[in-house]
Chain A
Amino acid sequence: MTPDLPAIFTRLRAELPAATLAHLRNPGPSGQDSLLVAPACLVAVCQFLHDSADLDFDLLSNVTGVDWPDPALTDAVALPAEGSAAAVGGFLEVVYHLYSTSRRVGPLVLRARSVDRAEQVHIPSVVAVYRSAEYQEREIFDLFGVKFTGHPDLRRILMWDEFLDHPMRKDYLAPDDYQYEPTPHDAVLEKAKQHYPATSES
């Protein structure tokens, strides 16, 4: 059963007057609308949804990141909240899918957005409320580069610790030389030069 989002929205407005919320409509046929939550009040909103006896969203099933590098695309697809201009230069987004196991309701979709994609990529961690976010937030940190403040153990999880970039970002450039070739091919050598101009001479 899909949750009654307008009712939850009004409820949250009443219970947490300080929270900045927006209702985002899903243009597609799935009908899964979402709630945009300002990062500053994300933990409070989650705590309320978890603790409230009649809402009882006890299962945070899925947490994932989305990279929105292009403001034009964001306007068309991600639908910024009414009244707020689309973030110039894009942003990173974390999406949460909540369910209630006792009331059999879900998914309630929450979204939180970072300010930009370079420096201000901090989103508060919800591990204290939902333990299931622990590894998933680590995965988002690893692959998207979102920094979760308050996470107990924020390390890379799928890539190795020495890895520098965030491969799920849209502008990630995959290395061309990841495949070993005993006798490098001309085109591969050309490509490798773009990445390693200094070492390609040898």
Chain B
Amino acid sequence: MPELDEDQLLHVSLGPQHPSTHGVFRMNVLLDGETVVSLKPVFGYLHRNHEKIAEGITYLSSMPFTDRLDYICPLTNNWAYAQAVEKLAGIEVPERAEYIRVITAELTRLINHSAFVGFFLGDMGAWGSALMYAFREREKILDLFEDLTGARMMSNYMRFGGCRNDLPDGWAAKASVLVNEFPRFLDELENLVTGNEILIARTQNIGALPKEALINGGITGPMLRAAGVAYDIRKVEPYGIYDRFKFRIPLGTTGDCYDRLMIRLLELRESLAILRQALDQLPEGAYIHPKAKIRNFKPPVGEAYARIESPKGELGFYLISDGSAKPFRYRIRPPSFINLTLLEDMCLGLDLADVVLILGSIDIVLGEVDR
């Protein structure tokens, strides 16, 4: 590579207000012509120190705040937090509540992955059509969530030891209808995406890194599986009742942007398989542990780290209790934030237009990155 002439380099501040940065995220990019020479992400525009707030309020009061982390998938955030507190305090969860949690989490995954495809095509210049189709389906799932939790997005639904309320009458039947109709939308979406020549030309061989580098960089979730690493927490450390369902883990080969897109499309089908089994097996019973304490809840002294496979990757909560009603330490392991660690490595030597695609393929939500 010839010596770079400093005077010829162009400094571009991509963001924080930019339609393809998925929120208020900024990248300081140094360009040699069209080629990226250096890329430094700038964080913090949405920082509200969620962890500090949570350490000043009771355990349950943080539950609505977790909705606002990854606001596309509030129910998986609820679950991750509830699971960490249950581990910290040794609380049992009734069977029906576990089923409701799996159903809501997999519906959330449907929302996230189909919206991802829409946003990703938007980043590529196909703004609108794919996203609107995805949002049409998302709307149906949000209607279900509204029936169940009272809110379309900010659900505040999980409780320590179960869920806040039982499924309304006829909810499971409505969910089954949705699950049975969803594959038709998936076929439509896949038709729109997979064979598209422009999409293939833009995404193949873009942004790939070796497996070892990805693991070392802490990358988790669909990003890691696209590179061929079979690491899905639902399989390797089955939390809740995931060991009862039959589903496969789709794997990519190269880990480029095309694989990352396809992994999400394939995972949608597996989520549907889990949903069908869960809705079939849904037992009667309590939706929350009868002895679960809502008021004056004080977990014993100790600490716990619990994680789930959120649609974006490994979402973990680390809690330390000093025996009082407030957590002594409350830490979120945000998958969106840690998946950005290798952003610069993926972009070096590529064109500026590819940076937008690679960022899109990581699938970040700034509410979770900045916390």
Contact residues of A with B, CB < 8 Å? 1, 26-30, 32, 58-62, 64, 66, 73, 76-77, 95, 97, 101, 104, 106-107, 109, 130-136, 143, 157-160, 167-168, 172
Q: Which B residues are in CB contact (< 8 Å) with A61? A: 218, 220, 307, 314, 316, 333
Set A77, A131, A172: member contacting B328, Cβ < 8 A: A77
Set B43, B217, B299: member contacting A131, Cβ < 8 A: B217
Smallest Cβ distance from A24 to chain B, in angstroms?
A: 10
Contact residues of B with A, CB < 8 Å? 43-44, 47, 49, 51-52, 87-90, 212-213, 215-220, 229, 231, 236-237, 299-307, 314, 316, 318, 320-323, 328-329, 331, 333, 337-338, 340-342, 370-371
A-B contact pairs, 17 of them (CB 8 A): A28-B90, A29-B89, A32-B305, A61-B218, A62-B305, A62-B331, A66-B329, A77-B321, A97-B316, A101-B229, A131-B216, A131-B218, A132-B219, A132-B338, A136-B338, A159-B47, A168-B51
| Alpha-carbon distance A1/B233, docked complex (angstroms) | 11
Q: Which B residues are in CB contact (< 8 Å) with A130? A: 216, 218
Set B49, B304, B307, B341: member contacting A30, Cβ < 8 A: B304
| Alpha-carbon distance A27/B328, docked complex (angstroms) | 15
- Whether B322 and A73, one on each chain, are in contact in the complex, defined by CB atoms closer than 8 angstroms, is yes
| Alpha-carbon distance A134/B103, docked complex (angstroms) | 35
| Alpha-carbon distance A183/B44, docked complex (angstroms) | 29
Smallest Cβ distance from A146 to chain B, in angstroms?
A: 14
Query: Which residue of the partner chain B has the closest CB to A133?
Result: B218
Pair count A-B, CB < 8 A:
124
- Whether B215 and A76, one on each chain, are in contact in the complex, defined by CB atoms closer than 8 angstroms, is no
Q: Which B residues are in CB contact (< 8 Å) with A26? A: 302-303
- Whether A132 and B304, one on each chain, are in contact in the complex, defined by CB atoms closer than 8 angstroms, is no
Smallest Cβ distance from A150 to chain B, in angstroms?
A: 17
Query: Which residue of the partner chain B has the closest CB to A106?
Result: B237
- Whether B341 and A77, one on each chain, are in contact in the complex, defined by CB atoms closer than 8 angstroms, is no
Smallest Cβ distance from A79 to chain B, in angstroms?
A: 9
Set A1, A58, A158: member contacting B215, Cβ < 8 A: A58
| Alpha-carbon distance A202/B23, docked complex (angstroms) | 39
| Alpha-carbon distance A1/B320, docked complex (angstroms) | 21
- Whether A135 and B216, one on each chain, are in contact in the complex, defined by CB atoms closer than 8 angstroms, is no
Query: Which residue of the partner chain A has the closest CB to B51?
Result: A168
| Alpha-carbon distance A143/B320, docked complex (angstroms) | 17
Set A30, A64, A134: member contacting B88, Cβ < 8 A: A30
- Whether B318 and A101, one on each chain, are in contact in the complex, defined by CB atoms closer than 8 angstroms, is no
Query: Which residue of the partner chain B has the closest CB to A109?
Result: B305
Query: Which residue of the partner chain B has the closest CB to A139?
Result: B337
Set A1, A76, A134, A167: member contacting B301, Cβ < 8 A: A76
Query: Which residue of the partner chain B has the closest CB to A142?
Result: B44
Known contacts: A77-B320, A158-B44, A158-B47. The answer to whether A131 contacts B342 by CB under 8 A is yes
Between B212, B219, B307, the greatest number of chain A beta carbons within 10 A of the residue's beta carbon is seen for B307
Smallest Cβ distance from A15 to chain B, in angstroms?
A: 21
Q: Which A residues are in CB contact (< 8 Å) with B216? A: 58-59, 130-132
- Whether A28 and B302, one on each chain, are in contact in the complex, defined by CB atoms closer than 8 angstroms, is yes
